[in-house]
Structure 1
Amino acid sequence: IFRPEAGQGIHPREASRHHIENSASVLSECLKDANVSVQDLDIISYAAGPGLGPCLRVGAVVARSLSSFYKIPIYPVNHAIGHIELGKLLTGARDPLVLLVSGGHTMLLSFLNQQWRVFGETLDITLGQLLDQFGRSIGFASPCGKNIEELASASSNYVTLPYSVKGNDVSFSGLLSATKSVSEKSKTDACYSLQETAFAMISETVERALSFTSKKELMIVGGVAANKRLSEMLTDVCKRHGSKFFVVPLQYAGDCGSQICWTGLLESQVKKGVLLKDTFVTQSWRLDSVKVDY
């Protein structure tokens, strides 16, 4: 896993170089652990987006090479949908309202007419970016969510911060700037207040979406799903609405190959793989633009 230095974000060039240098060994290790060879594979799926372009291209090149050489069908996968599909598999959720919160997404989603529909999202930075950018400003290395959660648990002193919910969308940029100012006096109070404010904003939008959709399940996926305080607040929301609460297991909350493998397998049940000339990488590939046939 590529990990930047403390106080630094992920640089696309450095991350892609890491992927290039490690792709062969990671592939060999995975095949060895699964006790299979490439020839045993029925399909090859890869993350076509959204994400950092240089990193996505490394994965696409590896997938194309294997597909071409071994004549195995290839499937481009939307990695955000991968979060959702693996979450449903592991939690047993059947028809949930989905909260996708990560470094790349902050979205409330419901499935309707073969597409994921958005019932609220961020208007600027994501929840994951909020936590990481603030964490880096006080010296943590990305991802910073766990460090912020630990510091927040050491305080109960709430400092008033900007709370911005517009319709059913959220805005975190003002909250980030204000929290940086608070951190100059107390990092623990800043972490506590940041979590309480941001998660309250998310909880408000979830509650409104549950009321509108009448869903009886809420599932949270994405890297920020690992935060226990967020789960506590959303559990309370679900209790008020008589809805079941599901959270993806910690080890599968962040981006992982299992999401891409499983979603590719689902797609292979209803369609053939794409031609190599039709494979692609799209940095900003919105999941609500994807038709889901399976």
Structure 2
Amino acid sequence: MARFLGIDTSCYTTSAAVCDSSGELAGEERIVLSVREGNRGLSQSQMVFQHTKNLPLILQKLSPFLQDIKGIGVSSFPRRRADSYMPAFLVGKGCAFSLAAALHVPVYEFSHQENHALAAIRKYPALWGKPFYMMHMSGGTMDVLSCIWQGECMEITTLMDSKDITAGQLIDRVGVSLGLHFPCGKELEKLAEKGSHTYHIPRSSLKGAFSFSGPETRVQKDIASGKYSREDIAQGVLEHIGKALDKELSACPFDTTRPFIAVGGVMANQYLRHKVEEIMDRKGMKTYFADISASSDNATGNAFGAFMRHGL
């Protein structure tokens, strides 16, 4: 059976996945990069070092699925733009081209952003080749995008982004201050479930873009004051992000005939997934998500993309 390997070496996860000749996921492995307790991220050199150690371990675990590889999909850059570059992605790219030379198979290069989109499209393959909107919410990204296809590649235009920090950065910075492990999304979500809906953050007056630096400053002061519980702070942060999404997405003049794809690690949060679906339902638009496990960084989209590109 023909198989297709996907590789993604992002800012915080080393990932590889294999799709079979029907586009189904045959195997998938990932290792979240280690961040020292109390820190809020890694340098690019630290990412490169950890990816270089992790990728052979991941491929060894996937070795039962690495027979009859016919193509390799890899995230070669963050976005498909001339100015989009991060050294972390070169680890995966170098591995993909080395394996391809040994196996005599093609490499299909994707952006990390396209990999996220493809992780959702893998569940709904009928979306391949059709124009769509995408919201990408992760630790370092807060974008609303218009996506059309030029042949077998996506052409992505930014409609809206964050003017300072992202929702993911707000979650992580607040989470670290609350004593959570970085990245903080899963732990903050669990903490928020115990909140009493009594902590509220003033909304930003900015229109047509997201802004979370002011809210972060306010939350950090409130944490330092000791007036609010950790649970209420966590819940208030998620509710504030939900209100910001409602304000901006509701006002955006989307073509409502297009589907709306919401991806990225922040979209693994159940509260925010339901919020986005509710907002887009009011606009008469269908919302598509990747699986919870495929919302955070992974390589399933690249594996599926290689399968699709190989068949074109």
| TM-score, length of structure 2 as denominator length | 0.76
Deviation of the 1:244 alpha carbon: 2.5
2:120 to 80, 87, 107: 87
Contact 1:91 1:248 in 2 (8 A): no
Matched, 1:5 2:45: no
Q: Greater shift after overlay, 2-11 or 186-195?
A: 2-11
Matched, 1:97 2:133: yes
Runs of 5+ unmatched residues, structure 1? 271-294
Matched, 1:230 2:261: no
Q: Greater shift after overlay, 149-158 or 89-98?
A: 89-98
1:111 and 1:19, CA in 2 relative to 1: closer, same or farther beyond 3 A? closer
1:122 to 154, 162, 165: 162
Deviation of the 1:269 alpha carbon: 4.6
Q: Distance in 2 between matches of 1:68 and 1:6?
A: 40
Contact 1:238 1:244 in 2 (8 A): yes
Q: Distance in 2 between matches of 1:183 and 1:59?
A: 39
Contact 1:93 1:217 in 2 (8 A): no
Q: Distance in 2 between matches of 1:234 and 1:22?
A: 34
Which position in structure 2 is the counterpart of 1:192? 235
Contact 2:132 2:148 in 1 (8 A): no
Q: Distance in 2 between matches of 1:257 and 1:171?
A: 29
Deviation of the 1:13 alpha carbon: 2.9
Q: Distance in 1 between matches of 2:138 and 2:189?
A: 15
Deviation of the 1:235 alpha carbon: 2.7
1:165 and 1:67, CA in 2 relative to 1: closer, same or farther beyond 3 A? farther
Percent of residue pairs bearing the same amino acid type: 24
Measured on the aligned residues, the alpha-carbon RMSD in Å equals 2.3
Contact 1:20 1:58 in 2 (8 A): yes
Contact 2:118 2:302 in 1 (8 A): no
2:143 to 104, 107, 131: 107
Matched, 1:159 2:195: no
Which position in structure 1 is the counterpart of 2:22? none
Deviation of the 1:102 alpha carbon: 0.8
Q: Give per-residue Cα distances to partners, 1:214-233, cap 9 Å, x unaligned.
A: 24633211111111111222
| Amino acid in the other structure paired with 1:74 | V
Runs of 5+ unmatched residues, structure 2? 1-30, 80-84
Aligned pair count? Answer: 265
| Amino acid in the other structure paired with 1:196 | E
Q: Distance in 1 between matches of 2:249 and 2:257?
A: 11
* Greater percentage in helix: 1
Q: Give per-residue Cα distances to partners, 1:39-67, cap 9 Å, x unaligned.
A: x2222222111198342122122122212
